Amino acid sequence: MSFRSFWRSPIMTAGQKLYEGKAKILYATDDPDILLTHFKDDATAFNAQKRGSIIGKGAVNCAMSAHLFKLMEANGVPTHFIDCPTAIEMRVKAVKILPIEVVVRNIAAGSLCQQTGLELGTILSQPLVEFYYKNDGLGDPLLTLDRLRLLDLATDDQVDQLRRMALRINDLLTAFFDQCGITLVDFKLEFGIDSKNQLLLADEISPDTCRLWNQTETDPDRRVMDKDRFRRDLGNVEEAYRQVLERVLSQAV
């Protein structure tokens, strides 16, 4: 399906609304094992202190996540993805989402620079895996392994598995984006546990959740193709999102 027809297709009838987040709404379906995710154009930043809308974002994030979840599945990484009944909706397996944001970084940017003094753009000698507490009220604080244990957010085995999966996903995504002429700077993942206690990659993989730099640009503002354009008022946000999707969809998985 072309990007244009994705954009225009109608919305599926959904069941009961289960949860509304900043960028997505989750609905029940007739099947208790399947949920429907609706991707919104709403954009927030800095723990929702900044709010706005990015036209077409829902469709971009839905299509891009679908494509990258297929890439993951094709390479043995289990995900919650089932299919996309419309341009802005994704059917997913019902899972219990862990209250942990797993961030992988290849290049220093964002909070890593703010909190460590590392210079923006510093290439890390090896990927850095970090765990944050998914809790808006507390501002999603960085977790230590002892705090993960203290709060009983995941078992030690699950933490080991999350780290291994995050690094594998990083390898796959870094190689894929490289083929698109895009550098994967960093990204955030969320995971869920299914009825068989299996960890599945969940949420989304999109310009909302990844830092993506255009390899043909060296200017620190012009190269930005992700939500930092919105966060930092760099302009041309919609165009950047569309560009990323076009490049992603042009690469087979």
Per CB under 6 A, residues contacting ligand 5GP are: 101, 103, 109-112, 140, 186-188, 208-211, 227
CB closer to ligand 5GP out of 53 and 111: 111
Cβ distance to ligand 5GP smaller for residue 12 or 113: 113
Cβ pair 120, 145 in contact under 8 A: no
To the nearest 10°, report the CA torsion of 173, 179, 184, 187: -30
Q: Which residues of 48-71 are buried (b: 16+ CB within 10 A; e: fewer)?
A: eeeeeebebbbbbbbbbbbbbbeb
Q: How far is the CB of 109 from ligand 5GP (least distance, A)?
A: 6
Least distance to ligand 5GP, CB of residue 126, Å: 17
Smallest gap from Cβ 187 to ligand 5GP, in A, equals 5
Nearer to ligand 5GP, 15 or 147 (CB): 147
Closest contact distance (angstroms) between CB of 194 and ligand 5GP is 23
**What 3-state class would DSSP assign to 76?**
coil
Nearest CB to ligand 5GP, comparing residues 93 and 227: 227
Closest residue by beta carbon to ligand 5GP: 110
Q: Which is nearer to ligand 5GP, 85 or 110 (CB)?
A: 110
Residue 110's DSSP bridge partners are: none
Q: Is 12 exposed, middle or buried (0-12, 13-18, 19+ CB in 10 A)?
A: middle
Least distance CB 134 / ligand 5GP (angstroms): 8
Planar angle of CA 217, 7, 62, nearest 5 degrees? 70
Tokens of 80: 């919650």
Choose between 98 and 112: whose C-beta lies nearer to ligand 5GP: 112
The amino acid sitting at 98 is L
Which residues fall within 8 angstroms of residue 164, CB to CB, at 6 or more apart? none
Query: Which among 223, 228, 222 is positioned nearest to 208, based on CA atoms?
Result: 228
> Minimal distance in Å, beta carbon 198 to ligand 5GP?
24
